[in-house]
Structure 1
Amino acid sequence: MLRTRGAWTFLLPGFAARQPFAMLTLSIVLLVQHTTGSYGAAGVVAAVTGVSMALFAPYSGRLADRHGQRAVLLPGVLVHAASGLALTALALSDAPLWLLFAAAVPTGASVPQIGPMVRARWGVRLGDSPLMSTAAAFESVTDELTFVLGPLLATALCTAVDPAAGLVTEAALTLVGGLLFAAQRSTQPDVGGVGDGHARVEHVSALRVPGVRVLIAVFLGIGSVFGGMQVSLAAFTESIGEPGLNGVLYGVFAAGNMISGLACGAIAWKVAPQRRLLVGYTALALTASGLWAAHSVLVLAGLGLLVGMCVAPAIVTGYTLVEGLVPAGARTEAFTWLTGAVALGQAAAVTVSGQLEDRYGGGAGFLVPMGGTVLALAVLLALRSRLATRPHGRTVARGVGHRAPAAVD
């Protein structure tokens, strides 16, 4: 897969540009908690950022499908860098919360959707190749690698350098990485998308596909895991007087994601992706339900590793299902709906977790990942029939793609 022509020209700048995404929420939480003394206030500001991203990400993906990725990225990274720096300055000047909210909205709305854009470029390069499943797993591993490095970097900068250093670095990396990625014009999808036969396809909304709506609920639950753990781990490590362990514990969780993501790409799956999603998500809900009972660093690290190992299969399988559910001309939008769902779930989770930690402490924020995943699992079980993929271009990692001669009702 990595020998695909032109792959490295978008992979390297894409990795640099997506790294800040893993730093943003935690950098905001650490900065605002430092200036206000409240995890609740920090969680709400981070939540406003996440909700703004969730609302605007699909629109950004639709614009990228219709007008090209470069046209969306160039103004987006400029707005994001400027608004992120404005949010930093306001927080350091002890501005009222409503001003922080006002700066958080454009900060979240302008987050560049690099991950979905990279996935769309793989679709152009690989088409119906069996390597598309491997590419989906590879992208999940790349995402999780950023979630290993991002929290570690954000925590180190905010605790060892300055509380504002994390958010300032995030803005700078977004600007530089985003501009470099936008400069790779030869690998971006054609405006309008490329169909299964390399022909232009008609614009459709990804949200009209029932399976995408089910996956949005699934990814909302995944977002609740990310957000709930970010706030709750920060509160836990501070309560034991070791705030520097926050990045380490979150890094262990993300390392679990990365390890299982590698396994997902290496295994030649014979089980249908719908069934893999059901099994994997059930395991995620079960492991996430045990977090609130952990009261030691070692136990929490072990449980976090298991939770992380259950997250990646769900993400990989969800993105793999998009390839079969959604026409090519709407896939960037579909990917951004899922990315936005993670951000929205994360935003809700940091808000609720922050309030629970402020009021009750003792790891109460860990109840949020349990609740989010259990609710999402219930939706998945009830609506799993809507995840039946379109008959054309269906592939299995390291297998052979099969085309059905006719659509079957």
Structure 2
Amino acid sequence: MPSANYRSLLRTPGAAAFFLPASFGKVGGAMTSLSIVWLVHAHTGTFSAAGLVTGGFAVSEALGAPQLARLVDRFGQTRVLPPALLAHALAVAALVSLVAADASDALLALGGALVGVSVPQLGAMSAARWAALLRTGRAAELPTAFTLESLSNAVAYLVGPASVSALAAAGHPVVGTALAASLSVGGGLLLAAQRGSAPSPAADSAARTRADRSSLRGEIVVLMGLNLAIGVYFGAMQVSVTAFTVEHGAPGATAPVFAVSSCSGLLAGWLYGLRRWRAAPPVQLLVTSSTLTLGTLLLLTVGSPFGLGLVVVLTGATVPPLLVLFSVLTESTVHQTVLTQAFSWLGSASAAGSATAAAVSGWAIDSLGSRGGFAVTATAATAMTLQSLAGLRLLRTPQRQSTRGEPSTGS
């Protein structure tokens, strides 16, 4: 059966027990930002206030995620997650209370920042568990495991925002916010309960110091640059597709175009994870980023929503393999005791790129139309290809400072 690789992974003792809770928790994470938008807008009536609060959330999450991950790597997931989840639940409750009390925009932004800085990084923790579980004897299956993570992220961002929007449209924005927090906290607690699959923290301070230094090497700088670029692509693509459909008098085509892109990505990611690719990951990275660049250049030539839909099949299909390759290269480069932190830094780079792109692409669209926004996506994809080419030799010979044979025990 084609899906036997995925089934065999999930049948690995302890795998499903941490993967499924983390996946449910990621749905909550995918809902959180949009739930804040709906919550604040419903009570204030302005998107400016909602944008201010969501911006505070995004900035604090980007800055706080690596620090939380550093604590996780130092003390272990099972020790850090419960208090972090409690802090997140209290932060969400505080934000809801501030909104209900008609607090000032400044206080609302502070509340949003508290929610963001306490968001549990379940995706990074789940990926670190896969690495610990498969590192000894089954390292060849890591790309398939990271593909599962990528697919669960894609599903989360399909289901989560749609659920929040439906609840808000029905007049229940507070329910959407509470549901997002409940999924994040519930999934996180179930993940923390799985002690046997949790990676072990560094045994001593000297080992942690060496590991921290290893996380700052050139390979990680390249990978952060790649994640920054793909974040710019994500942010610019969302705004540009919407602008294009509005320009062509078909705003109703926006959702189908995004759906086509998402379904293309899900299918491509699923198929990618079924094969053991002979080409080295850095070579795959260069080929895939070049394909994305071609697709973004084609975006500059489309003249109808139908043509746009055809092109996003290509661009959407390239994204999951790229995300998997980022994880594979990170795992092969970074010391295992700072792996959660490395995954979180890459996520922060992507978030920073997405936030920057939203503003830049908006300016480009106002000046040049939707093609100005697509030019931003093409620039980001081209930068990714150039970085892949420049880092080809560096990423091909990673100086791993951990051994694949080290055992993993619960923390």
Query: Is the TM value for this pair above 0.5?
Result: yes
Q: How does 1:147-296 map to 2 (within 5 A)?
A: 147-192=157-202, 203-205=210-212, 206-231=214-239, 249-291=257-299
Structure 2 CA distance for partners of 1:166 and 1:368, relative to 1, 3 Å = farther
Matching residue within 329, 332, 339 for 2:337: 329
Report if the CA contact (8 A) 2:147-2:269 is conserved.
yes
- Greater helix percent: which structure? 2
Letter in 1 for 2:295: T
Report if the CA contact (8 A) 1:121-1:188 is conserved.
yes
In structure 2, how many angstroms separate the alpha carbons of the residues matched to 1:292 and 1:33? 34
Matching residue within 133, 137, 140 for 2:147: 137
Matching residue within 60, 75, 86 for 1:78: 86
Unaligned runs of 5+ in 1: 195-199, 395-400, 403-409
Matching residue within 87, 98, 106 for 2:114: 106
Deviation at 1:68, TM superposition (A): 0.7
Q: Does 1:117 align with 2:125?
A: yes
Report if the CA contact (8 A) 1:201-1:328 is conserved.
no
Deviation at 1:351, TM superposition (A): 4.0
Scaled by the length of structure 1, the TM-score of the pair is 0.81
Unaligned runs of 5+ in 2: 1-8, 406-411
Letter in 2 for 1:135: A
Deviation at 1:12, TM superposition (A): 1.4
The size of the alignment, in residue pairs, is 391
1:10 match: 18
In structure 1, how many angstroms separate the alpha carbons of the residues matched to 2:350 and 2:336? 22
Instruction: Summarize deviations over 1:57-81 as a string: whole Å, max 9, x none.
Output: 2222221111011222212222223
Report sequence identity in percent.
36
The alignment partner of 1:322 has SS state of: helix
Q: Does 1:65 align with 2:73?
A: yes
Instruction: Summarize deviations over 1:277-314 as a string: whole Å, max 9, x none.
Output: 11211222332355576675544443333222111111
Report if the CA contact (8 A) 1:23-1:151 is conserved.
yes
In structure 2, how many angstroms separate the alpha carbons of the residues matched to 1:217 and 1:342? 9
1:307 match: 315
In structure 1, how many angstroms separate the alpha carbons of the residues matched to 2:342 and 2:208? 15
Deviation at 1:238, TM superposition (A): 8.1
**Higher mean C-alpha deviation, range 55-64 or range 231-240:** 231-240
Q: How does 1:47-62 map to 2 (within 5 A)?
A: 47-62=55-70
The alignment partner of 1:187 has SS state of: coil
Report if the CA contact (8 A) 2:53-2:113 is conserved.
no
The alignment partner of 1:19 has SS state of: helix
Structure 2 CA distance for partners of 1:111 and 1:90, relative to 1, 3 Å = same
Scaled by the length of structure 2, the TM-score of the pair is 0.81
Instruction: Summarize deviations over 1:47-99 as a string: whole Å, max 9, x none.
Output: 43222222122222221111011222212222223333444555576655433
Report if the CA contact (8 A) 1:140-1:312 is conserved.
yes
Deviation at 1:186, TM superposition (A): 2.0
Report if the CA contact (8 A) 1:151-1:247 is conserved.
no
CA RMSD of aligned residues (A): 3.6
Letter in 2 for 1:143: N
